[in-house]
Structure 1
Amino acid sequence: MRLTSLDKKRLYRRIKASDNRGMTEYDLIANHFANTLQSVAEQVDSLAPAIEATGSLMADTLLRDGKLILCGLGPDAAAAQLLTTYLISRFELERPALPAINLAQGSSTTTGVIGASGANDLFSRQIKALGRPEDTLVCIASQQSHTALLRAIQTAHEIDMAVVLLCNHELGDLSSLMSGNDASITIQGDRASTVFELQIMCIHRLIELIEHTLFFNNMDGNL
């Protein structure tokens, strides 16, 4: 008998459940922490240069009086809001507010755009209204690609905006849109939650680099 894709998923879940039998809640928590730490250790050499280049691009945007326009879907919209909050408020330093917009934060705007133009134009329509050549689009995608993200990147390029992509390694369709003026951080991970956790770590490092680049002449020992 040939197994359907649904049968395979159910079988995989049963196998995973049997693997976890006898494990305590502590074991489950400790294993997940260990897996995340292992992912960080394995990728630090590839992520550090990408974070440095991306942070430099974002800082240059702000130095030339541009703004950062962020987008993401689902949990990634929350990650975009986290970075937006850090930019407008602060991370670890007392300093002036930095211009940033999260395109997914306003329910009235997002539902209005979806109602008028459809979900695929959720971000591109806003970018056409708000984006300028001196701005940079920051696109966050930890789980899956979507036409709304593809069109956001394409629209940003049409306006001559640079693009920053923080994404899962499986999203090759988004990565293929990157140009020579863009920067990307690609994260490896078997679980969506692990990818998301590493993305939050990358966001912390990015805002840290931006603060030090804009408000200090050189790095100090706390970076």
Structure 2
Amino acid sequence: MKEMIRQTVQDAIETKQKFFEAHEDLIEICARQLADTFDAGGKLLLFGNGGSAADCQHIAAEFVNRFQMERKPLPAIALTCDTSIITSIGNDYTFDEIFSKQVQALGNKKDMAIGISTSGNSANVIRAAAVAKDQGLTLVGFSGAGGKLKEMSDMAFCVGSSVTARIQEVHITLGHILCDLAERILFHGLKPPY
């Protein structure tokens, strides 16, 4: 078992190192755009399934409450939380529409959306991403190595792994980094070159 533990930890470290080395510039761009969105009165919408749904809620909580500093709340909504909305849409239409109808109702041009799908192909995430693009939101995709979400996103963060757990571990670390940088930009005057 100890060898399995060591191998899992090593795989996680290597996956994160490769991802963050490859995406540093895009992370800076995304953090600045996220801060600009909040500064202009926009909000962040997040959507995903299963573990990715939990990541949406986790990231939204970091923005609405706080991450590492005392500051005013920032508007972020995980579209995974309202069981009445989700079940009514699923019942009256299909499960594929549970996020797209919420994006249609809540999203506007000054907002950003983060769609999370380890495969990059979750039907309800792809439909919501399409609505976000149609309505003029900036779309950020968190995915695995590929899928439709990568092609649709304004900023695509694709983790080069086929292991769902490794992908999700990178996604939550990425969410934490984006929140940390956005806080610093908005409330500590962090300016380029950061």
- Fold in common (TM above 0.5): yes
Task: Check the 8 A contact 2:144/2:162 in 1, yes or no.
Answer: no
**1:110 offset after TM fit, Å?**
0.6
Superposition pairs of residues 71-150 of structure 1, within 5 angstroms: 71-150=47-126
On the 8 A contact 2:150/2:157 being kept in 1, the answer is no
Preserved CA contact (<8 Å) 2:120 2:149: no
Q: Give the TM-score taking structure 1 as reference length.
A: 0.82
Whose radius of gyration is greater, 1 or 2? 1
Distance apart, 1:47 and its partner CA = 2.0
For 2:156, give the aligned amino acid.
S
Distance of 2:162 and 2:129 partners within structure 1 = 26
Which residue number in structure 1 is paired with residue 2 of structure 2?
26
- Equivalent position to 1:184, from 156, 176, 182: 156
Residue of structure 2 in register with 1:58 after alignment: 34
Mapping of residues 142-181 of structure 1, within 5 Å: 142-171=118-147, 173-178=148-153
Structure 1's consecutive aligned runs of 4 or more residues displaced over 3 angstroms after TM superposition are none
Please give the TM-score of this superposition, normalised by the length of structure 2: 0.93
Kept in 1, the 8 Å contact 2:120–2:150? The answer is no
- Give % identity: 25
The answer to whether the 8 Å contact 2:118/2:144 transfers is: yes
Secondary structure at 2:19 match in 1 = helix
Code of the residue aligned with 2:184 in structure 1: it is H
Q: In structure 2, which of residues 160, 164, 170 is the aligned counterpart of residue 198 of structure 1?
A: 170
Residue-by-residue CA offset, 1:45-85 (whole Å, 9 max, x unaligned) = 21212211221221111111000011001110000000000
Find the aligned partners of 2:39 and 2:62 in 1 and give their Cα distance. Answer: 17
